[in-house]
Chains A and B, each alone.
Chain A
Amino acid sequence: MSIRFPRALTAAALSAALLAGCGSTAADPAPTPSASAAGSALTGFDALVEEARGSTVTFYGWGGDDARNQFLQTTVADTLKEKYDITLEVVGMDIDAILAKLSGEKGAGQDAGTIDMIWINGENFYSCKENGLLYGPFTQELPNFNAYVDPEDPETLTDFCYPIEGYEAPYAKAQLVLIHDSAVTPETPASTEELLEFVQKYPGKVTYPAPPDFTGSAFVRNVIYDICGWEQFQDMEPDKEALRAAVAPAMEYLRELNPYLWNGGETFPASSTQLTNLFADGEVLLDISYSPYSPAVNIEKGVYPDTAQAFLWDKGTIGNTNYMAIAYNAPNKAGAMVVIHELLSPELQAAQYDAQKVLPVLDEARLSAEEQALFDAVDTGDGTLPQDELLEHRLPEMPAALVPLIEEIWAEEVVGQ
């Protein structure tokens, strides 16, 4: 049985389930968050806290990262229990399965599901929100969101250029980095040009994960940005032929890389984790990661050699934010909002930065000196770049609708050519 489920299948099932479902539920307006607190003497957030006391909140998301699982199940769970008497239940589930579950429930008109919070972003957020699978807007109700998140930050306003409108709150920031072993290759190819020289010098020792792998797809977009510039894509309509013309020089470049790649560019690793294993095994010389601090994590795990080091491209690499959303049929919406509020506290964001080595989402300008000190105290570990260097080289994501089109163009024009 295939575990990763083809995206086309999910999309087809999603629309089929929605078509089959009762039209009335799809048209229901989103309930207002404050309605849940009606009848209580308390107002606003205090009422939510009171309502959530003693309840259980489920947090669904990918379960393959032990650092995240451990952080949520220990530090976060303990904090929530202590402060709000909320029990956090972390459920490992692929976003594809979450989408399938929610769309099935929507189709069957089920109002009481099991999912409270979802770890989400990009095209999945796009399809969830478009199909009415999310609850909101809710972020304006969260004191920590209002206090610490920059409302003007493009990544607060849009996710892959798609308006968020209060339907998800930032969780952590990611940014594409390349990783080399400084003991094996001193070079850090900082542009597509230098990468071409690098692969010519070390033929067969470089590759990238095949899109639609999340990281592989981001790498291809980064190549496009480096060669074609990033600005023109920000407001581009999802027209495949226009896009094909716009990215032609980048596809030409990727074809030029092919003969020098691992396996002669005939096959590509199916996932970024396979690439990481190839790099750890010394079979390829570069790893690509969407977690900028992954060298520190992998050196500590003993997977990478101690001399692994992250580097960036001079023109920048793509960064994005991942978010927390609430399911449209979440049984405990009040609890989910309290948990999301708490995950946006400086204390937990700093602890998360320390435990998982992911970039925090809070606006530094809004932190007090003591709060800022929490972040400054974090040791980002070996092989990583400082946060300000990452942020200086951070490029915005493309519109979500362009992403699958680029993946198609890559499959048509690059692989096997």
Chain B
Amino acid sequence: MARPVISRKTPSIDMTAMCDVAFLLLSFFILATKLKPAEAIPVTNPNSVSTQVAPDKDVILVTINKDGKVFLAIQDEDKKKSIIEGVNTLRSLGLSSDQIDKLSKQSVIGVPLTNLKEQSAMNEKDLTDKLPGMSVDSSDNDMKTWIRATNEVYIGTPANFVIKGDNVAKYPGFRSVIDAMKANEQFQFKLVTNPEAVPAGTLLWEANKGK
């Protein structure tokens, strides 16, 4: 009886097709990914079950870092310039047009109103969490002026007020920002969070299950 011949060669799999698929998906994800730009003010966001995506247009971003310092960033450069001009006239800060121009090109505003002149002379790379932050005491709340000027500029156009707070930031900083918003009849805003799964067994979980 003839014995069956067992091939000694190791079975070889053609990897070409798999390689094609891998790189096709890879190129798709590379093109579809928007990498986060490095942030000047590092903030660790809290988690929430909210599925609403944070807006990325017309954003007026108020950042509260871990030391409770408050920073303001406005996306639209032209509007930012008008806002700085507005703040300048509201509080008669005496900024020159050159200084306003420089401030509107900077990514973030992180000094009390009286120190805006000094910030306009700073380089972009110095605009980090080392800045003193705005003064947000209940007696002297800079945010009120900023939000008033922002409202005046954004009147009639959509504006997304977004608050991005650090996990360990103390509540009073957050409260003064809310107070400043409320004082300017700005009652709706969004808090940036990291998405998190809905805990099983909760009411929201039951509600989602039915869908």
**A and B form one complex:** no
Chain B positions near chain A (C-beta within 8 angstroms)? none
Chain A positions near chain B (C-beta within 8 angstroms)? none
